[in-house]
Amino acid sequence: MLNSKNRLAKVWLELFIFILVIFLTSLNYSPEVAGQNAWSLIQFYTLGLSLHALWRLGLPQANSYLKALPLGLLVGASYIDTSLLVRPVFDLAVLMPFLVMGGYTFICSLSFFRLREVYPSSPIAFFNNKPSQSVAYSLLIGLVSGLVLGGVNLLIAQEPLHFQGSIHPFILSLSPGIMEEIGMRTSFYVHCLVLIKNQPLKPAENRTLWAMMLLPHTLIHLPSVFIQAGFSSGMLSLVLLVLLFGLPFAWLQRRVSLLSACLSHWLVDTIRFLMIGLPI
């Protein structure tokens, strides 16, 4: 069995390898392709972490499948909507993103719910982290934080605003709101909790968990910045994104609930898509 120091070293080594592979897959590629490579990499990485967690924890109970399925379907629906906006023909090209990204979200969600089955006292819950908190409290905190962060996002975007009066922004933002929060942030939390068997976090382990919930997801947004503007600008963007968005979403997960973080992230992107335009 790995001791605490070895567990920490393993997690930091994984993070170093992840960053190194992002760097290597960005060489000799355009900023757009480098960004796509980074997104594919984190999806494969976190899918592997989630499958490993399920292997370590065992098969979930039926109730966990019922909880994870709607999350996967919602993300899949956002990809169907995106595909039909680009090419309004329902065929296999539309169905594949639904199956792949919906399935990815389903598996990552399933590993989280399985962790809650095995370790009911684990710090992050879906609806409310503390028994004294209500679901309404999680929804309220998610709503307020999403409105505030959505406003901040518009202020720093430096792009012209033009209102998009359609339902598509609400549907497309289900992907970042659910998939990114669960697949690209919660998966690292599950991985770390599985390694330490849900024992109380030591200070170094707590800092490592924060880093894993913040850095990988933030880094995949920035290959184009590092390529076009250089290392210094890339690091500055990394710090700003962590402070403005990564830290608030991770804090919501760890201090309020996973639901509040998903709602807040969904609202931030909904506001952006409504006021700036759809990402297609």
Q: What is the pTM of this model?
A: 0.93
Closest by CA to 135, choosing from 189, 143, 73, is 143
**What pLDDT is attached to residue 32?**
85
**What pLDDT is attached to residue 231?**
84
DSSP designation for 60: P
Q: What residues have CB less than 8 Å from 200, skipping those under 6 apart? A: none
- pLDDT per residue as tens digits for the range 220-265: 998 888 888 888 888 999 999 999 999 999 999 999 999 999 999 9
**What pLDDT is attached to residue 4?**
66
Contact indicator for 174, 78 with CB cutoff of 8 Å = yes
3-state secondary structure of 72: helix
Q: CA-CA distance, 119 to 220, in Å (whole number)?
A: 30
Residue ranges for the chain with pLDDT beneath 50: 1
Task: Break the chain into its structural domains and give their ranges.
Answer: 4-276
